Chains A and B, each alone.
Chain A
Amino acid sequence: MTNLDKIAHLAEKSEYDVSTPRKNWDEFDLNKLEALGAGTKHDVCASTATPRVVKGLQRIGNTSRGGICHSFTPDGRCVSLFKTLFTNDCAHDCKYCPNSDDCSTKGKTYSYTPKELADITLSLYQGNYVEGLFLSSGTGKDEDIIMEKLIETARILREDYKYEGYIHLKILPGTDKDYIKRSMEHADRVSLNIESCSKNRFHEVSSTKHYDYDILRRQRYIRDLMEKNGLPASHTTQTIVGGAGENDKEIFESMIREYRKMDLKRMYYSSFKPVEGTALDDKEEVPNSREHRLYQTDWLFRVYDLKPNEITLAFDEKGFLPDGDPKIEIAKRVFDEPVDPNEASYERLLRVPGIGPKSASRIIKSREKEEINKWSELSKLGVVLKRARTFLKVNGWTHSTLDRWSS
């Protein structure tokens, strides 16, 4: 018996009790797939990493601690999940949204059934096209009825198909607490989009949703349920940048509130793009660079552990971030003299542009063995000299162009 025969024999023997989904896709409505897929193209779900550990053999799939991108669209964004709406039918009037009840160019209304959606998710997962499901939806006439269907989709996947891959469920604004609890029993991650940075700004883009009641109260439910029952990959939110005329500082302040009060894992930012037929279709597009700068400040707070009052040094007097790396703007104001990598603490190194947590740790470990005497040695430890050089001093040498250091 060859090894291939042995493998075939093992496969014959293994009768794991796992149901298989629909096999025939000939009559499947691809227009529906496209319309409901496109409805989530502005939703960001950057990570599929989850600490949930999967065991046993009676299952399909598992999870990845690091997260996996299965493709990238030509805009450079990762495609990791089957990201779709359950329905594009929505009773709300959000002024930026193509699925809004008020949108004059709103196309045909489509909906999946939970079984149909579970089938297509599992088939794409089995083909290794996706790492799991990201399920959002319009609210239909009643958000609780739609939420029930989202939960049923997840239930079919988990219980009927023994699917153990990643699931991210959107919580619809205003959803009853019991539905939130049930969603969290199946999902790795849930999220509820705050869409705007404050109550006043929110009501400029939607008159049918209540910021405190429909959004913040539901986020508190998620936070409290998570504390009690756990949720593998925690919860997240997303906000539109510039949709209601807010400046970067307003968004930054809401970011800090969200992280501190809601125990949020991540906040995502999506710069406003006008959609034809919506109430805001004549409003100017917000450049992607604003979104990028906000992600950088988010990173400084969350990963580099900079204090909010340090980060606010990067904002101009109108509350906007300048068109450059915020860390450089902060460093220009924080450092009185060039930093010596042989002397500086980890925290001080981390504040130097071009040095991240990994390279700061490497510098500290490396200098314990031997002093750093050359710029090229820093480069080998992962420091980006193009950004860092101005703020460092190596072997007595500086490359500073800052006036106060060159005198």
Chain B
Amino acid sequence: MDSLYIGQVVELSLSKRKLELLKANENTERGDLRLAEKIDDDALQTARKDKIIRIRELIRETGREIHKMKGFVRFKLLGEKVKCGYMKPEHEVGFMVLDWFAKRFPGKVIVLGNKEQSWVSIYTEEGVSHEKSGSLESTLDELGEELDMEKKKDLTEVWERYYESQYSERRKNEELFKKNMPEKYMKRAGNKAERKFELQKLDKFKS
């Protein structure tokens, strides 16, 4: 590493990843971005000032949504080439989630979205190519003109039976369940099996 000289202007900045996460948060304001240009990762971690702590929290919140979406979204296979699913994130994390899946499944078109918007990504020898588009339905229609997208039976039933087999009544801990799998993320990732099982248990409890 080059040594510093007296009078040198040192540019402080957050890591590229942290800045991306901050910019992607729906609640980030201009003032947050201006302040973020004046601090580095170290200052962020050791901050005692509320304005910097706010930036730390915004970054953490975006990162949490990406992490939850990577775990909670489900794919249906359309033909040999396309994997699609529902996702309605709160923040602008579409490509961050999609590109991660594209690298997991090279050569497959990954499509995630909802009624308003969708994201498409693919990873090949040329690297990652991605696109933001209209509704999930219209995007699939458009892709269907190019690719064989015969719908296959999904694994919902298999998953539901397996999921239920893992539950231990003696260890029931709804508080921990809600903390780890908040309703907000189940809705945004479209986790029907988990929500259905949770509602069935509540019905049993009420009766």
Residues of A within 8 A of B (CB): 2-16, 18, 20, 23-26, 28, 30, 33-35, 37-38, 40-42, 57-62, 66, 68-80, 82-83, 120, 123-124, 126-129, 273, 285, 288, 362, 365-366, 369-370, 377, 380-381
Contact = CB atoms under 8 A, between A and B. Distances in A.
Contacts of B146: 4-5, 8-9, 12
Nearest to B45: A362
25 contacts: A4-B120, A10-B126, A10-B129, A11-B81, A11-B107, A11-B109, A13-B124, A16-B106, A18-B107, A40-B166, A42-B168, A57-B123, A61-B105, A72-B180, A73-B177, A80-B71, A126-B83, A127-B75, A127-B76, A128-B101, A129-B74, A362-B46, A366-B46, A380-B50, A380-B53
Contact of B161 (A33, A60, A73, A77): A33
A391 B85 CA distance: 51
A290 to B, nearest CB: 13
Contacts of A381: 46, 48
Contacts of A8: 109, 143, 146-147
B108 interface: yes
B116 interface: no
Contacts of B181: 71-72
Given A10-B124, A57-B124, A362-B45, A74 B174 contact: yes
Nearest to B85: A128
A306 to B, nearest CB: 24
Contacts of B174: 74, 76
Interface stretch (B8-16, B23-31, B148-156): B148-156
A30 B158 contact: yes
A68 B122 contact: no
Given A13-B124, A129-B162, A377-B48, 11 more contacts: A4-B131, A8-B147, A11-B109, A23-B153, A34-B162, A72-B176, A73-B167, A73-B177, A124-B159, A365-B46, A381-B48
Interface in B95-114: 101, 103-109
B12 to A, nearest CB: 13
Given A10-B122, A366-B48, A75 B159 contact: no
Nearest to A367: B46
B152 A23 contact: yes
B203 interface: no
B92 interface: no
B74 A12 contact: no
Nearest to B118: A4
B143 A6 contact: no
A62 B70 CA distance: 13
Interface of B: 42, 45-48, 50, 53, 67, 70-77, 80-83, 85, 101, 103-109, 120-126, 129-131, 133, 139, 142-143, 146-147, 152-155, 157-159, 161-168, 170-177, 179-181, 191, 193-194, 197-198, 201
Contact of A34 (B42, B80, B165): B165
B177 A75 contact: yes
B56 to A, nearest CB: 9
Given A11-B81, A129-B159, A377-B48, A69 B124 contact: no
Given A30-B157, A76-B173, A68 B125 contact: no
A365 B45 contact: yes
B129 A7 contact: yes
A62 B158 contact: no
A252 B200 CA distance: 40
Contacts of A71: 71-72, 163, 181, 191, 193-194
B165 A14 contact: no
Given A10-B126, A76-B176, A365-B45, A34 B107 contact: no
B106 A33 contact: no
B155 to A, nearest CB: 5
Contacts of A273: 168, 170
A74 B155 contact: no
Top 6 closest A-B pairs, CB basis? Answer: A76-B176, A8-B146, A37-B165, A14-B107, A75-B171, A366-B46
Nearest to A68: B71
Contacts of A25: 153, 155, 157-158
A287 to B, nearest CB: 10
B72 A20 contact: no
A126 B75 contact: yes
B203 to A, nearest CB: 13
Contacts of B198: 74
Contacts of B72: 70-71
Nearest to A288: B171
Nearest to B162: A37
A28 B158 contact: yes
A73 B163 contact: yes
Nearest to A69: B71
